Structure 1
């Protein structure tokens, strides 16, 4: 019944202060004529790229694959100087405290006990976890607190029952079913070539095919609870209101019980994955071009030439794209089919060291003041305000999320005094718009709207010709063009391919479905299986060719 977990969830973000990373060992590979090394390039060292390298090495570093002709090399290219992508933390001096420095998660703030990939990796790397502090939470509508947790847990439960009735229990039942379906993916050894195939297999397609507001209404979740609790969570996690995000995104947002953090920063999980992948790591290296080379002889597989911004060139057997394609600015000289464009939402994070002004919230003192303040879709001037650290000198460091930059005027009203202010704007997380089911693509279920997607408010494909979602065409030519209006579209045209062409894999295709640290590792493990199968010769090339021609 407690909703304290709403305060513990943070959006996936990009850091602007980076603690010194530990040493990442590289490995030089010397291919020989008799033992050619299968080489894999991974572009991006965030959660997706790091986990792909980690799981690929695990899959291939098995006794049955120890023969020389199955040797492999992994090279990770990362344009920044750090590992972890949107998962990062920065250090704050805490003079007089138990430790000289405290770490603040800038983004990807928590994971939970059922995030088995992250939990297992933390144990393997010897990283210490800590539960989040059980601090008070309040919900602010821009004028008053409409709900405040009490220091007495039982009283908080009674307040919740009085305000929302049995809606929390109904939602928990829905949550149990959907999260249970997602957890089934951990038991499957199957490798998926498309996001749609994954979603269909684990019964996620239907819940990802409708807006959250319609889904909650259809499942008898009261409007008041939807707007005052579920929407509050989707706003802080994905910057989206219920009529802007699919139901799977809303449910994953609410599944944050038993939240954990890694002591001194969650980013260490991904540094550990890279360190244990035995990959050669090239930080501060931007890729300018990826070019497909023609096969050397009939029956041979194509290889790929990777050129860095500095002009260095290397040739690889497989390419893994582990960053949003539209943000890489890489010239992909490959006949890749169009991928559906995943739009990312801009978020502003502001960190303030000082003293919060209780008077802004009509409180008389800071005693028993909530540590986490989340907001409804209202006149609120920010999305969330959360105390990250209480310093020895009485100051706090707070994190503010907002859809627009925080003005000096607002800071003057929110704080009694400020020692420093740091801020950052970035494309933090995808806009999780509903994705159509197969029968919706073929025109069935007309009662659900022109595109077959049920919503109480809007059509996610309105305003696009022939119901077509915006697409990215990586190399435009007569053989690789986006489908035109009236073309029969398949599910992959809207959901995205994972192995986009033989030998080229796109991990971030999963972000149209869901985007969390844990699901990035699920996507990474899936791509690792696909690359392994290609190296071992198990890849059904005819299936891929059929999908490309469709």
Structure 2
């Protein structure tokens, strides 16, 4: 029974990757059909998964496909991205999506296709593995990565059967979601319909607080554990449950973005980085014209061009993509509110101060600290929702070596609604001597490197019973509608796989009817050829 708060889900396994030599060979014919041309806008989890699975489904279905992925950033991975500690290219750290779990089979399978290594832990550093802090004291402390029998006994003594009931509710809820991966639900053309069909409306239409209370999870357990695990996300009942699924949490050494890089490499797609799509316009015969060129921060802004594609997949939130969708397109995605989160990465030779957490002198603070509100403090909206603790979480990620001094230091990540100021950091690290401070903050002796980022990191998962359309128009698809339902690396990869299957099934049906390319006959497979 794990009580940490990381977002994940249990998903169906994906198959082995398609290789270039698995392409179907077609007989020569006057009516031979050109490969299906597909544009994918965005090289994050949704876009990479669409490309990867579409190449597999195309090979299995017996048609050729040419995939082009446009990414306005100069990197692959979307919100799963890294920055370099000490500005050293050999020492990246996750800035965004940090972990996936054993149950995330799409990501797990993609990882297993590569030779990547897992990030090492912090077991040699003193301090408990996890603590839940309410701004006054620790409501819960877990000494190791897994609960010991003694900790389990203490948990049962403190919360009664609530942890067991929570686990049962989590399993029931996630098992319903898991049905979305199998026939007859998969592939699903409507997110709203499939949520109804798998009986998840009760979870998505209630707030996390109401959902757990309606299912008998009341009292201090909801405050001490569930609130700490979920309050970053402003969530509905479904996500409240999947936040509690953390078995086998892991991350890839040098960045989880490598999973999506591997997917794109296996798809044989043409990936154009630092390339921005500015508009999508309907063309002839249900095709689309994409206007694209160098990104706004690129030195070359003159080389823009128009390219026609049979199918377009928008695999990025439309409200942030800066793409004009022609007004003739049947459906334009709605805007949804996103959480604006401050991420602070820093290195320091100091461990977290026990005094900051009102701990006895000499007792090391936990290495990962989540926060909850103190008793009798009501949750508030926006940045004020952080309450008395003043931050959402702080994590000691790993020991590092300062390249300038050769001294061992510690790498920290802080999530907060506002950027931590020098006063907060001084108390957090237990810095007491005034001469350590400068007009700009804290000296390099105490904080040798710091990186700050504020971004619209993920959506508020509000209660709702209807969800964004998957198909915006004929041959135009949208994977980021999943964000209004559940936004994780794995769920976006799921939607990418789902869209890929919808595209493949539609194209295969048109081939079978001989209606491909405005009535051309479908190609004839050579008798001895097929998918290997």
CA drift at 1:331 = 1.1
1:80 and 2:80 are equivalent in the alignment:
no
CA drift at 1:512 = 1.1
Aligned equivalents of 2:279, 2:193: Cα separation in 1: 30
Tell me the matched-pair count.
442
CA drift at 1:71 = 2.1
CA drift at 1:209 = 1.2
Residue deviations 1:392-427, cap 9 Å, x none? 534211100001121222122212321121110001
2:115 aligned to which of 115, 126, 135? 126
Contact 1:51/1:525 (8 A) holds in 2? yes
CA-based RMSD: 2.7
1:407 and 2:402 are equivalent in the alignment:
no
Which residue does the alignment assign to 1:221? 217
1:321 and 2:324 are equivalent in the alignment:
no
Which residue does the alignment assign to 1:52? 50
TM-score by length of 1: 0.75
- Residues 101 and 158 of structure 1: is their aligned pair in 2 closer, same or farther, counting only changes over 3 Å? farther
1:505 and 2:509 are equivalent in the alignment:
no
Aligned pairs (5 A) from 1:115-154: 115-129=104-118, 136-150=129-143, 153-154=148-149
SS in 2 for 1:108: coil
1:423 aligned to which of 449, 452, 462? 452
Aligned equivalents of 1:211, 1:218: Cα separation in 2: 10
SS in 2 for 1:397: strand
Residue deviations 1:290-325, cap 9 Å, x none? 1101x3xxxxx3111000144211000111000011
- Residues 228 and 246 of structure 1: is their aligned pair in 2 closer, same or farther, counting only changes over 3 Å? same
Which residue does the alignment assign to 2:264? 274
Q: Which runs of 5+ in 1 are unaligned?
A: 11-24, 26-30, 296-300, 437-493, 540-550
Aligned pairs (5 A) from 1:30-179: 34-62=32-60, 65=62, 70-92=63-85, 101-129=90-118, 136-150=129-143, 153-179=148-174
Contact 1:196/1:205 (8 A) holds in 2? no
Select between 100-109 and 418-427 the one with higher mean Cα deviation. Answer: 100-109
2:288 aligned to which of 304, 318, 332? 304
SS in 2 for 1:260: coil
CA drift at 1:159 = 2.8
Aligned equivalents of 2:55, 2:136: Cα separation in 1: 54
CA drift at 1:251 = 0.8
Indicate the structure whose relative CO is greater, using CA pairs within 8 Å and at least 6 residues apart: 2
SS in 1 for 2:251: strand
CA drift at 1:228 = 1.5
